[in-house]
Amino acid sequence: MGAVEGILTGFEVALSLEGIMFVLLGVFVGTFIGMLPGLGPISAIAIMIPITYGMNPTLALVMMAGVYYGAVFGGSTSSILLNAPGISGTVATSFDGYPLAQKGQAGKALAIAAISSFVGGTISVVLLMIFAPVLASVAVSFGPPAYFALMLLGLTAIASLSEGSTIKALIAAIVGFMIATIGIDPQTGTGRFTFGSANLLDGIDFLVIALGLFAIAEVCFLVMNRRKKSVTNGKDIGSLKLSKQDAKEISGPAGRQSFLGFILGILPGAGATIASFISYITEKRIAKKPEEFGKGALKGIAAPEASNNAATSGSFVPLLSLGIPGSGTTAVMLGAFLVLGVQPGPMLMGDQPEIFWGIIASMYIGNIFLLILNLPLIPYISRILTVPRPLLISLVIMFSLIGVYAISFSTFDLYLLLAFGVLGFIMRIFAFPAPPFILAFILGGMMEQSFRQAMTSSGGNISVFFTNNISLVLIILSVISFAFPIIRNLRKKKAH
């Protein structure tokens, strides 16, 4: 079956009454669960698996795909409104989304996120349709050295994420990396920095760090400004109005970063998080006014949002074409396939084309539903920021605490959350930026594993990183990416 014939079959499934209903249901449930504290796409898909028992596999999987990208989108809402990213893929969205919301333009921020997600989702589905069979083989050719180099490239964002002092940004990143080393070492089984506590054997969860450094630290500043009004300009808070200039401003980043997000999404292990960070720094670097980033730049919301949604579709490439889950979320998704008696992989396209193409076609419709469902809700959701500060503070703390408890069921993690909140507050007082910390924490663990795997496979020979073409190119790019902003800063200082 050719691609054109295949996609027509897919649309037959997706545009049937049942197809439309299940896509709509999936997108709605996904967005709702994604907005809840602590629950991201993994929990959303896992929760939905029992509901699909006995269902038609095609419709069930079409619904699950909707749950997946709906939850990714839902996660950006708390990032923008409360500076409380629920999943790692939406951390970069909070860098500019939250400042814009604080300026009284929460509706605009959410609308840009929705539109960019739509653009990212749609462009990536087209790419998925065209390149799925070919790209899968590229993803497989990425070995540990190339992964290490990719993570390194992601980490070079630190140089761009430093607002003032580069030394402080580097210190924040190293401490973030150090936190990532806590727990059992997966290669040797050695407990590192656990101080004999069983609670630390699994390491520290991402959500504890993200909500501590961003949400709880922000709460501290809200407490200090508790007598001020919730937002500086509450009049247009829910307004979705985008001017022609705004639309023009976000169209470039949303378009460009959709391609980048899709490519990074295909690579197992990279996914939405790296995609969103790399997209954010790329836009910051090519922007005419990079100093606006971090203060509510529209491009700073459009880029990571388009990218993380495109990466979500990209992650379906290895899953559908090879049966390999590239992330925790797609691993749960693979579970859902198996529960329904569907074996994803090279044979899927030939044996069950209605499933393969049905999922792809449903994504077109799902992205439209995501936009239609969410845009009308934005004015109401945005009003959360008009809640009086004392009440908002209590609710954000509660939101963060439940978020952490719902994934770990441990009060120890709640104390840790509090500790990281204090750390985040101290860091902000002394001008240590939090983004490099969280970036290094997320990438550090993966980077260490790839490095050690590569070294083990080469018998301890470090030249493995330079003899592999992909890794060599990525390392050269990393060096340029790291050095460029530092040299630019030094030149600026000299000029002054």
Partner 1 sequence: MLKGVNRKLGLVIFLLSAGYLTLSYNLPTYPYIPVDADVIPKTLGWILLVLSIALFFAKDQDSEEQKARRHIPREDVKALLGVFVFVFIYITLFETIGFIIMTAAFVFFCSWFLGYKQHVVNALVSILFPVFLYSVFVFLLSINLPQGILPF
Q: How far apart are CA 235 and CA 233, in angstroms?
A: 6
> 337 — phi, psi (to 5°)?
-60, -50
Which position among 52, 317, 448, 468 is part of the footprint of partner 1 (CB under 8 A)? 448
Residue 479 binding partner 1, by CB under 8 A? no
Among 130, 134, 201, 224, binds partner 1 (CB under 8 A): 224
Q: Which of 418, 404, 76 is nearest to 220 (CA)?
A: 418
- Give the number of other Cβ atoms within 10 Å of residue 137's Cβ: 11
Residue placing its CB nearer to partner 1 in the complex, 140 or 223 = 223
The CB-side HSE value for 86 (13 A sphere, CA atoms) comes to: 33
Pairing assessment for the beta strands 191-192 and 183-184 based on DSSP bridges: antiparallel
Q: Which is nearer to partner 1, 230 or 282 (CB)?
A: 230
* Partners of 184 in beta bridges: 191
Which ranges of 378-433 does DSSP label H, i.e. alpha helix? 378-382, 389-408, 411-429
If one asks whether residue 21 binds partner 1 (CB under 8 A), the answer comes out as no
Amino acid (one-letter) located at 333: M
Residues 460, 463: Cα–Cα separation, whole Å: 9
> Applying CB under 8 A, does 51 fall inside the site for partner 1?
no
Q: Contact with partner 1 (CB under 8 A): which of 36, 127, 149, 270?
A: 36
- Of the pair 314, 424, the CB lying nearest partner 1 is at 424
> For residues 389 and 222, is the Cβ–Cβ distance under 8 A?
yes
Per the CB < 8 A criterion, the answer to whether 337 and 61 are in contact is: yes
Q: Residue 79, Cα to own-chain centre: how many angstroms?
A: 11
Q: How far apart are CA 375 and CA 360, in angstroms?
A: 23
Integer Cα distance of 250 and 235 in angstroms: 23
Q: Which amino acid is at 186?
A: P
Nearer to partner 1, 168 or 285 (CB): 168
> Rule CB under 8 A: is residue 228 a binding residue for partner 1?
no
Q: Which is nearer to partner 1, 221 or 347 (CB)?
A: 221
Distance CA(161)–CA(244), nearest Å, equals 29
Q: Return the axis-axis angle of helices 217-224 and 411-429, rounded to nearest 10°.
A: 60
Smallest distance from the beta carbon of 447 to partner 1, in angstroms? 9
The binder of partner 1 chosen from 15, 393, 472, 477 (CB under 8 A)? 393
Residue 411 found at the interface with partner 1 (CB under 8 A): yes
- Kindly state whether residue 451 participates in binding partner 1, applying the rule CB under 8 A: yes
Q: Which range in 130-138, 142-150, 322-330, 421-429 contacts partner 1 by CB under 8 A?
A: 421-429
Q: Are 321 and 35 in contact (CB under 8 A)?
A: no
Asked if 402 is part of the footprint of partner 1 (rule: CB under 8 A), the reply reads yes
- Which of 23, 39, 159, 332 binds partner 1 (CB under 8 A)? It is 39
User: Residue 245 CB, nearest distance to partner 1 (Å)?
Assistant: 29
Site string for partner 1, 423-442 (x = CB under 8 A): -----xxxx-----------
Among 140, 223, 247, 372, binds partner 1 (CB under 8 A): 223
Q: Decide if 474 contacts 153 (C-beta within 8 A).
A: yes
Helix, strand, or coil here: 192?
strand
d(C-alpha 199, C-alpha 409), whole Å: 11
- Of 167 and 347, which has the nearer Cβ to partner 1? 167
Choose, by CB under 8 A, the member of 8, 192, 241, 473 that binds partner 1.
Answer: 192
# residues near partner 1 by CB under 8 A: 59
Spatial separation of the C-alpha atoms in residues 412 and 182, rounded to whole Å: 15
**Amino acid found at 245:** Q
Q: Among residues 141 and 190, whose Cβ is nearest to partner 1? A: 190
Shortest Å distance, C-beta 458 to partner 1: 8
CA distance 109 to 132: 32
Q: In whole angstroms, how close is the CB of 414 to partner 1 at the nearest point?
A: 4
Kindly report each contact of residues 341-347 with a partner whose C-beta sits within 8 Å and lies 24 or more positions away, as own/partner.
341/57, 342/57, 342/61, 344/319, 344/320, 345/321, 346/321, 346/322
Instruction: Write out the binding residues for partner 1, residues 201-220 only, by CB under 8 A.
Output: 219-220
Binding partner 1 by CB under 8 A: which of 201, 415, 469, 476? 415
> In the range 115-174, which residues lie near partner 1 by CB under 8 A?
164-165, 167-168, 170-171, 174
Cβ proximity to partner 1, 342 vs 443, nearer residue = 443
Q: Binding partner 1 by CB under 8 A: which of 390, 466, 467, 490?
A: 390
Closest separation between CB of residue 165 and partner 1, Å?
Answer: 7
181 binds partner 1 (CB under 8 A): yes
Which chain residues interact with partner 1 by CB under 8 A? Answer: 33, 36, 39, 43, 47, 164-165, 167-168, 170-171, 174-175, 177-178, 181, 185, 187-188, 190, 192-193, 219-220, 223-224, 226-227, 388-391, 393-395, 397-398, 401-402, 405-406, 409, 411, 414-415, 418, 422, 428-431, 448, 451-452, 455-456, 458-460
